Structure 1
Amino acid sequence: MIEPSRGFRERPVSFVRRSGRMSEAQERAWSDLSARYVVPVERDVAATSILPGTAIDPAETFGRAARLVVEIGSGQGHAIVHAAGADPQTDFLAVEVFRAGLARTMLDADRAGIGNLRLVEANAPEVLRHLLPEGSVDEVWIFFPDPWHKKRHTKRRLVDPTFPPIVAQALRRGGVLRLATDWEDYAVQMREVMDAATGFVREFTGDWAPRFEGRVLTAFERKGERVGRDIRDLAYRRVATPGA
């Protein structure tokens, strides 16, 4: 499904946002905690869009100036809640389109007493392009994005040749993009795309980066390993482009 637009989306989104019921606990979490954790955004046409020209001030959003890590496709929030709890000096922003996952993230963050985490319910490229100021992000994490493994669906993959300029805009010079997937052909595609991208250099030698120590081992990753899929990491540093 491609959400209706006025032309602000040039390609299919990397998700299919189905309407699903949240549990009672998730509904309560959204009602009780969203004012604290969820960043209010102005929409364009679609329910998950970001209106151009409506960037936030991260220091105002978090109440301080600090390193900022953005996780795209945060799912149930296991990785980012763990990271935020382990590194209270850094601010974390979870980007997800599925409200039930955001509600679960808020529940876990609230139980852990985490204050350095905020959430955005939106399409990730629009968050990077319109919501976050240029050069405001220290790291972007994309862990286990939907592989869209059927050939007719691969055009929906998030990391394609259109993606590097978008993430480069949000990352500061010296900032890092971290990627991980358990789908081999998507890992190869990611590597090819990022190796060819202007303004990025590898942060690893050989075929793949070492496993990122800051990524907590989740049930999803364990499941991939159980069925015999290798986990592949990549890391790229944002560098100045010629003439910049």
Structure 2
Amino acid sequence: MKDQQTEIQDSELPESNPQEPAKKRTIRSFVVRGGRMTEGQQKNYDANWAMYGLSLEDGRIDYKTVFGRESEVVLEVGFGMGASLAEMAKNAPEKDFIGIEVHPPGVAKLMMLAKEQGITNLKVYCDDAIEVMAKCLPEKAASCFQLFFPDPWHKKKHNKRRIVQPLFAQQVANVLKTGGQFHMATDWQPYAEHMMEVMEEQSLYQNAAGKAQYYPRPEWRPLTKFENRGEKLGHGVWDLIYTVIR
């Protein structure tokens, strides 16, 4: 997610027209940049969408219908260019994966990787995760929800744009089955502390590592190029896993 986001100042938002009815402005946790695809990316997008793409306009889906089987379903929001999600799907053929990303070039790249590697247990939305969760995903059905390295919105005045907030945690719980896990990872310690603060207050979750504890990096989460680079520079990474206990 970090790769397709940038900070947005309030002055960059469109000015309201006093003659128009007031509209509630939604605070976005992301801003798409570099959304225009190259000719090659567009070609890959168009060629692979029929096999891998899911559309917001299609409404509520059924996992068994989408994947043609009963399975554990893993959801990931903000997969960037998709390399780690493709690797996870390839390494766990017994599971099915749905990626949600607002960055079209990243979606095109993920679908291309899936096609090249013969991955069939993967689908993708190129839409806002909040809308997909509200309009498309079955309730209380997925086994895992992954949010890896979201934009930390470093400046204090932008902290409200961080995707991990109490309402978002509740929305995630709504699409996870009992026993399902919300897995987060970040390389920004203040954001890790923010995630912990938010999640420890949620009555629908239990910390899988123990109260107020971070989780050791699981083997199933691939190291990204960004994370490898950070580790070489001595940067820390914090994983948090919370289990739905409703």
TM-score between the two structures when normalised by the length of structure 1: 0.87
Query: Between Structure 1 and Structure 2, whose CA radius of gyration is higher?
Result: 2
Among 132, 136, 143, the alignment partner of 1:131 is 136
Q: CA deviation at 1:236?
A: 0.4
Q: CA deviation at 1:26?
A: 1.1
Corresponding position: 1:215 with 2:230: no
The answer for unaligned runs of 5 or more in structure 1 is 44-53
Q: CA deviation at 1:162?
A: 1.5
The answer on whether the counterparts of 1:129 and 1:170 sit within 8 Å (CA) in structure 2 is no
Change (3 A) 1:147 1:226: same
Distance of 1:233 and 1:146 partners within structure 2: 15
Change (3 A) 1:222 1:9: farther
Q: CA deviation at 1:57?
A: 1.1
- Partner of 2:65, secondary structure, is helix
Among 38, 42, 48, the alignment partner of 1:23 is 38
Among 56, 59, 71, the alignment partner of 2:64 is 59
AA partner of residue 219 (structure 1): K
Q: What residue in structure 1 maps to residue 180 of structure 2? A: 175
- Aligned pairs, number: 229
Query: What are the residue-to-residue correspondences of 1:1-244 with 2, within 5 Å?
Result: 11-18=26-33, 20-42=35-57, 54-205=59-210, 207-240=213-246
The answer on whether the counterparts of 1:96 and 1:122 sit within 8 Å (CA) in structure 2 is yes
Distance of 2:102 and 2:38 partners within structure 1: 17
Identity fraction in percent: 38
The answer on whether the counterparts of 1:13 and 1:123 sit within 8 Å (CA) in structure 2 is no
- Partner of 2:166, secondary structure, is coil
Q: What residue in structure 1 maps to residue 4 of structure 2? A: none
TM-score between the two structures when normalised by the length of structure 2: 0.87
The answer on whether the counterparts of 1:172 and 1:238 sit within 8 Å (CA) in structure 2 is yes
Q: What residue in structure 2 maps to residue 51 of structure 1? A: none
Q: CA deviation at 1:226?
A: 3.0
Distance of 1:41 and 1:19 partners within structure 2: 22
Distance of 2:136 and 2:175 partners within structure 1: 9
Change (3 A) 1:38 1:9: farther
The answer for unaligned runs of 5 or more in structure 2 is 1-7
Task: Deviation per CA, 1:212-235: give whole Å up to 9, x if none.
Answer: 211111101112223332000010
AA partner of residue 201 (structure 1): Q
